[in-house]
Amino acid sequence: MWPFDDLYDKAETWFFYWKQYVENDEEALMLGQPAGGWRLGEELWQVYTYRYFKVIDFAINGVKGKIYDDIVPVINEHVESLNEQHRMLCKKDRYGIVDNSKWLEEREYFFTNVILPLFVTAQAEIKDFLRESIFEIKDDKLFPSNASAKIRKHKIIPIINAYFGAWFNENIDAIFEVHVIEPCVAYLTGLIDNTITDPKLNDQKKTDDVLDSSKISPYDYEELCANILNENGWVAQATKKSGDQGADVYAEKNGISVVLQCKLTNLTVGNKAVQEIISGQKFMSADFAAVVTPAKYTPGAQDIARAAKVLLLHHEDLPHLESLCKRIVS
């Protein structure tokens, strides 16, 4: 039995709680569970979490489509200049480590002055399309494939649809900020990086060196990072437990301590990983903090890491961890 007698009023109440839940607990929303103490038919909840993420997915793919149509040709126009700047600004030190900090500043300049205006326009066009069409999207496009006939035909659906559309339009800027902008910026950064043919970049991190996450678990990757450190004079171990505040590996050597967050992914790593390891560093009272991944980092992650003095590393950088830590304080 559905818990609504007065459908209109109850739909409004339910939608208010759903709205608050989306805004305040995105991670729990991903689990598709109702908020504590608030009960609603599980299938109805699943329909609306599905509907929310279906629209978000449409928004991300829409912006990416605009990027492909309108921005990729502009990037391609500047391939020669980007490669020339990369060759000039990336330097190898006497240990063979590539210092690409000047290049990252140049890439940020290119993004801000050439790409960002086009990216803002692409976002605006997709937002306008969603504002106009969200009320017109057919229900069969927004229901999970396993949703029952009963839930599809339930008379509360059109009522909540109206609240969903109104809320989405009212909060579309914030929704884009949370869900769309960061993955699309990472996508754009990857497109820029893929234009680079500088041998120094290719030598540093070859595509075929990216670990296959289907053949190794995140915990195995933590163990791999700890083992590399142990082989290079550190006393390191994976934390192996929840409640570590984002610190996957703790290591000590010559009186200094480091915590690592190890991200096994082929996708670009964003701000969240840096923020989590900052918390892990404070929780474990470590001298230094680092994020380690076989992938790349977003410009936003690089900015936060630079300000907080967090190292952003590939696992191949770990043999040089001690010198990299000393460089931070020198």
For the chain, domain boundaries: 7-204, 208-329
pTM of the shown model: 0.50
pLDDT at 213: 52
Give the position of tokens 């659906």: 157
Q: Which helix (H) or strand (E) holds 291?
A: strand 288-292
pLDDT at 152: 63
Q: Cα–Cα–Cα angle for 262, 290, 275, nearest 5°?
A: 85
Phi, psi of 139 (to 5 degrees): -55, -35
Q: Which residue has the higher pLDDT, 317 or 156?
A: 317
Q: Mean pLDDT across the stretch 43-65?
A: 75
Q: For residues 195 and 36, what is the distance between their CA atoms, to the nearest angstrom? A: 48
How do residues 91-109 score in pLDDT, each as one tens digit?
776 666 778 888 889 999 9
Given a cut of 80, whether residue 167 has pLDDT beyond it is: no
Q: Name the range with the highest mean pLDDT among 17-31, 51-65, 104-118.
A: 104-118
- Architecture per CATH, domain 208-329, reads as 3-Layer(aba) Sandwich (3.40)
How do residues 169-198 score in pLDDT, each as one tens digit?
888 888 888 778 888 888 888 888 878 875
How do residues 247-275 score in pLDDT, each as one tens digit?
899 999 988 999 999 998 878 898 889 99
How do residues 282-312 score in pLDDT, each as one tens digit?
888 899 999 999 888 888 888 889 889 999 9
